[in-house]
Amino acid sequence: MLTPKITATREVVSLDGIWKFAVDTGAAVDTGAAPWAGPLETTLEAPVPASYNDLFTDPAIRDHVGWVWYQRTVRVPRGWADDRVIVRVDAATHHGVVYVDDRLVAEHEGGYLPFEADITDLVTAGDEFRLTIGVDNRLTPDTIPPGTVTTRADGRLAQSYMHDFYNYAGLARSVWLASRPAVHVDDITVVTDIDGTTGVVDYRVELAGAADVRVRLTDATGAEVAAAEGATGTLRVADAHLWQPGAGYLYTLVVEVTVDGIVVDEYPQTVGIRTVAVDGGRFLINGQPFYFTGFGKHEDSAVRGKGHDDAYLVHDFQLIDWIGANSFRTSHYPYAEEVMDFADRHGIVVIDETAAVGLNKKIGGGIADMLGGAADKDFADGFGPKMQDAHRREIRELIGRDKNHPSVVMWSIANEPDTMSEGTDTYFEPLFALARELDPTRPVTFVNVMMAPPNVCRVSKFADVLCLNRYYGWYVDGGDLASAEAHLEAELRGWEGMYGKPMIMTEYGADTIAGYHSVWDQPWSEEYQASMLAMYHRVFDRVETMVGEQVWNFADFQTSSGFFRVDGNKKGVFTRDRKPKAAAHALRARWTARRDDQ
């Protein structure tokens, strides 16, 4: 699905702003009391984009389990009479329904990927219509991510889930009204290669309707560097300016659709010419060994929750640059398209992850179940074909959305799933195959949990790169960095000996209260976080197949409440409002030196 854009043949109206908002306390969808059938009866209003949870003071809204409703009136621009009219929702977390007046036009499962509806036949150019979007935040054993809804003694619903980030919900990304011609570009796929100093751009255009296609590739100044006719083809760019980590040079593939020689649709697709490959124990970008530095992140900030915010977008990338990092992982779900576009333009390397987090009953609230409640629960207990179908859909939609981003160098199909239990290999093998079939050009990985070391993990054999999350010095050997160092090195050597594949530490970190200091190895102090990271770095520098380090986490973030989290997860190198802890300065020294050496 193409991102809505203003082009010579297309227009876009942002529907962001304040919408009417209501919490559905009576399960209206199930009872047939249709909130979409007329004006929403509510005094509440909510901004789009934003998660709704932290906007209001009423705990019943923050902790609501089930549907909420957003509504506004929309006027179709009067010049759109000859066009198709599309409503596009960038994300509805986790289940969205869209009504135009009282007609259901779209329904979507999965909280972090876009969906759209063609509403041309229901609206009139120049007139208004009522747009109502329902969003259900429930996670069940069959959703990605999974969760469980139970009923408390007093009848209130309670949502539990195995990941630790807070289950923010609502319309956290933009909503658009878009026009496009009846005959139009439906999809574009671009794959690039390098032949000496020549850039090779293979393209494939899918059309809705019968028409001819011509394309031209322009450089960053707008000058044409190649052109071709036909819906598929190859363009060759002499002396190509490559997309490089740290220097995100972009060309634009301008696709024109013609009928009888007249241009009926135009769509510009940015293109970064670069290659990605795994070679033995090395990860190569443009044929050169690449070492990942950076973070696992979250889309998270005060008040707006997971709401996309361009100011945070720019500031977070500024901090990534300030600290000398070159990459991040979209832990633990696909991020807003604005983030991916920004990474493309600024040369930041991305490991792109599905929302398959918490497929692990041995984890509670994001951490290993130390109290034992889930010890006897294994993968076969609940993770069945319905979840696998949902997982397949997530992989399809993610690759469909993000396949043309040069910043994306690898797909991560899950974070810390159970890969210890019997049946996990048969669950995952087809998912790896699907990702490779959809995109044969990028490595595919998953992120391995500490409970599945090399001799236990049944799934690492399918991954091109070993991505490991380890908490030696925190959940294991807490406060004892000498033991942690020995255990970490022994495990990494075990992986290296068994697989010889490139390894990235995709999580390592310590909860840290900004402003808490100690001269000793005291967990939660700023000094401990810095010493622990330094310990990991000593080990990484000794292990040859390590190709990257991504600290957990970029910034402190909100979690569900519980006795092991104090106002959220504090493993951020920056606080939730993006102030550096001591570790940020230490990382900056290491990573800027590495960047300067490259």
Which residues are annotated as catalytic?
A: 416, 507
Q: Edge-to-edge strand order for the sheet containing 262-271? A: 224-229, 212-218, 251-259, 262-271
What are the distances in angstroms from CA 333 to CA 90, 239, 398, 580? 14, 37, 9, 25
Give me the least distance between CB of 74 and ligand GCB, in Å please: 37
111 or 281, CB closer to ligand GCB? Answer: 111
139 exposure class (CB count in 10 Å sphere: 0-12, 13-18, 19+): buried
Q: What share of the chain is helix, strand, coil (3-state, %, to 5)?
A: 20, 35, 45
Q: Which two tokens stand for residue 586?
A: 């230490």
Question: How many other C-beta atoms are found inside a 10 Å radius of the C-beta of residue 372?
Answer: 7
Instruction: Provide the 3-class DSSP secondary structure of residue 60.
Output: helix
Question: How many other C-beta atoms are found inside a 10 Å radius of the C-beta of residue 440?
Answer: 9
55 or 468, CB closer to ligand GCB? Answer: 468
- Between CA 494 and CA 484 the distance in angstroms is 15
Give me the least distance between CB of 439 and ligand GCB, in Å please: 24
By the 8 A CB rule, do 408 and 444 touch?
Answer: no
The conformation of residue 579, written as its DSSP 8-state character, comes to P
Q: Which two tokens stand for residue 28?
A: 């209206």
Instruction: Provide the 3-class DSSP secondary structure of residue 392.
Output: helix
Determine phi and psi for 489, rounding to 5 degrees.
-65, -40
By the 8 A CB rule, do 473 and 484 touch?
Answer: yes
Instruction: Provide the 3-class DSSP secondary structure of residue 161.
Output: strand
- Between CA 195 and CA 86 the distance in angstroms is 40
Q: Which of 330, 499, 310 is nearest to 415 (CA)?
A: 330
- Between CA 534 and CA 485 the distance in angstroms is 10
402 or 507, CB closer to ligand GCB? Answer: 507
552 or 554, CB closer to ligand GCB? Answer: 552
Give me the least distance between CB of 415 and ligand GCB, in Å please: 5
| CB-side neighbour CA atoms (13 Å) of 186 | 10
Give me the least distance between CB of 400 and ligand GCB, in Å please: 25
- Between CA 549 and CA 590 the distance in angstroms is 11
| CB-side neighbour CA atoms (13 Å) of 8 | 12
By the 8 A CB rule, do 434 and 394 touch?
Answer: no
Q: Which two tokens stand for residue 264?
A: 């009926």
Q: Which of 440, 429, 363, 445 is nearest to 392 (CA)?
A: 429
Q: Which two tokens stand for residue 477?
A: 């050997």
DSSP count for the chain of H helices, then E strands: 9, 34
Q: Using DSSP bridges, classify how beta strands 212-218 and 251-259 pair: parallel, antiparallel or unpaired.
A: antiparallel
- Between CA 401 and CA 90 the distance in angstroms is 11
Determine phi and psi for 161, rounding to 5 degrees.
-155, 165
Residues interacting with ligand GCB, by CB under 6 A? 163-164, 332, 366-367, 415-416, 469, 507, 552, 569, 571
305 or 366, CB closer to ligand GCB? Answer: 366
Q: Residue type for 332, please? A: H
Instruction: Provide the 3-class DSSP secondary structure of residue 288.
Output: strand
Give me the least distance between CB of 469 and ligand GCB, in Å please: 4
